[in-house]
Amino acid sequence: MRINIILNGRNIQAETAPDELLIDFVRKQGALSVKRGCETSNCGLCTVFLEDKPVLSCSVLAVRADGKRVTTLEGLKEEAEQFGAFIADQGAEQCGFCNPGFVMNALALFRENPDPDEEEIREYLAGNLCRCSGYEGQLRGIQAYLRWKKEAAAGRDTPPDKK
């Protein structure tokens, strides 16, 4: 069956099978940041935005995305790089495998709640597993990024160490 999706702003029309999962569909379209980490809908690595909401692309049928907007890390390059620099500054990640899903969901959090406190950050990102770290570095990176955004908004633009 043929479906139409808007993938990262681009109209895509392609064949899919009734049981093809969105993760496999978008990977075939070149969105290789989207990866499988667990096969049990638990790790958050395959996170994409479906109509701007973060979802597990490993658990949605591609046909369900027919006529809808799908955004992957490839479509959020600038924002992701900016935020990723703060995570790197903290040396938060070791292997980096969990990074695409983590960045996607963190960006979803910032859109939904631009000024989250520590508990809100932990709760929103609880579904993104990292097996190298204890999440402390990521938390510091997020808080540093949010401080920078606030200062930038207040007109005191201090750029991140790495850009």
Partner 1 sequence: MLTIREYKRAESLKQAWQLNQQRGSRIVGGMLWMKMQRGTVQTAIDLSDLGLDTIEETKEAFRIGAMVTLRQLETHPGLAQYTGGAMKEALRCIVGVQFRNLATAGGSIFGRFGFSDVLTVFLAMDSYVELYQGGVVPMEEFARQGADRDVLTHILVKKTPLLFHYESVRNTRTDFPVLTCCGAFSPGKESCRFALGARPGRAVIIEDKEGLIDGGITPRKARAFGAYAAEHVPTGSNMRGSARYRSHLVNVLTARTALQLQETSGSFV
Site residues for partner 1 per CB under 8 A: 1, 17-19, 40-42, 44, 47, 50, 53-56, 59-61, 63-64, 105, 108-109, 123-128
Where on the phi/psi map is residue 52: left (φ > 0), alpha (ψ -120 to 50), or beta? Answer: left
Sequence-distant (≥ 6) Cβ neighbours of residue 150 within 8 angstroms: 115
- What single-letter DSSP state applies at residue 138? H
Q: Closest separation between CB of residue 21 and partner 1, Å?
A: 8
Token duo for residue 1:
């069956």
Reference 106, options 89, 119, 90, 121; nearest CA is 121
Token duo for residue 54:
């973060």
* Of 119 and 157, CB closest to partner 1: 119
Q: Closest separation between CB of residue 50 and partner 1, Å?
A: 8
- On the CB side of 102, CA atoms within 13 Å amount to 26
* Of 36 and 160, CB closest to partner 1: 36
Q: Closest separation between CB of residue 157 and partner 1, Å?
A: 30
* Of 126 and 153, CB closest to partner 1: 126
* Of 8 and 128, CB closest to partner 1: 128
Find out whether 161 and 145 touch, Cβ atoms under 8 Å. Answer: no
Q: Closest separation between CB of residue 75 and partner 1, Å?
A: 17
* Of 4 and 59, CB closest to partner 1: 59
Q: Closest separation between CB of residue 156 and partner 1, Å?
A: 32
- Reduced to 3 states, what is the DSSP secondary structure of residue 50? strand
- What single-letter DSSP state applies at residue 49? E
